[in-house]
Amino acid sequence: MSVELTEGPEAVEQLAEVLRDRTWTALTGAGASTDSGIPDYRGPTSVRATPMQFSEFIGATSAQQRYWARSYLGWERMGTARPNPAHQALVELESAGLVGVVTQNVDGLHARAGSRLVVNLHGEIAWVVCLDCGTRVHRGEVQRWLRDLNPGLIGQPPAEHAELRPDGDAVVEEWRHFVLACCAACGGRLKPDVVFFGESVPKDRVQFAHDLVDAGEVLVVLGSSLTVMSGLRFVRHLAKQGKDVVIVNRGVTRGDPLATLKIDGGCAETLAPLVGALR
């Protein structure tokens, strides 16, 4: 039977009781990174934005110009985001049964915080891939190419005034004359090495995530509404096995009916005191 609590000492203690002396896996969503200044699509800090669809991106050069113009400016903030107390707490909780993290986020903050085992389900925004030959290059290099190709965009508008979106781009009105960078190896089309909406997660990555989820006795969902199937599938999988599922999220999620414990609260506010409770 599901128990629902709001964040606070009682919720932390209840979570500690579920996890004490057991192994567990964390599944994180955008809510785990909001305290790092990265908004989400559906929570209290969400922006009203329609994400770029994969079919739209590959279907028109104009769509690529619009995406890359926004992403060029958005990276100025996304690339400098820092791990917050939620990320840091998960590193400390590795000594308290946490076997690894499966994340739906593309910001790379779990690894930067020091988590040892992370599955980046939707890829990493810090890398760019060529759609034609598969060559990968670090985002910093592509940023330099774009800066040289579009000198008039530097500071127009200043990155701190551009509305940042969850997938790392910013709202830019003038993008029609944006000059795209091409792959240095083959001259092909470049795309951030992340899974766009409408694009499939690579099967081997899904299997790696499943193996990590199966390795734990409990699944703890952190900051995800579980709206997309890529995250909800793990909740359904664990619940079908009769294992405990805990959800920590502000607001309703699609996995609530399957949760052993639901905490309506923030990730950092819940995880930081959990470190002490499990020692």
Q: What is the pLDDT of residues 17-30, one digit of tens each?
A: 999 999 999 999 99
Asked whether residue 189 carries a pLDDT value surpassing 50, the answer given is yes
Point out the least confidently predicted range of 163-167, 189-193, 203-207: 163-167
* pTM to 2 decimal places: 0.88
Tell me the per-residue pLDDT of 33-85, one tens digit each, with 9 for 90 and over. 999 999 865 444 444 456 789 999 999 999 999 999 989 988 877 889 999 99
3-state SS class at 214: helix
Q: Is 183 annotated as a binding residue?
A: yes
DSSP-derived pairing of the beta strands 190-194 and 123-130: antiparallel
As a whole number, mean pLDDT of residues 182-211 equals 96
d(CA 12, CA 264): 11
Q: Is 133 annotated as a binding residue?
A: yes
Predicted local distance difference test score (pLDDT) of residue 174: 62
Q: What mean pLDDT is reported for the chain?
A: 89
Residues belonging to the active site:
122
3-state SS class at 134: coil
Residue ranges in the chain assigned as alpha helix (H):
9-19, 54-59, 61-78, 85-92, 109-113, 139-149, 203-214, 229-240, 267-277
Q: What is the CATH number of domain 3-277?
A: 3.40.50.1220
Q: Is 267 annotated as a binding residue?
A: no
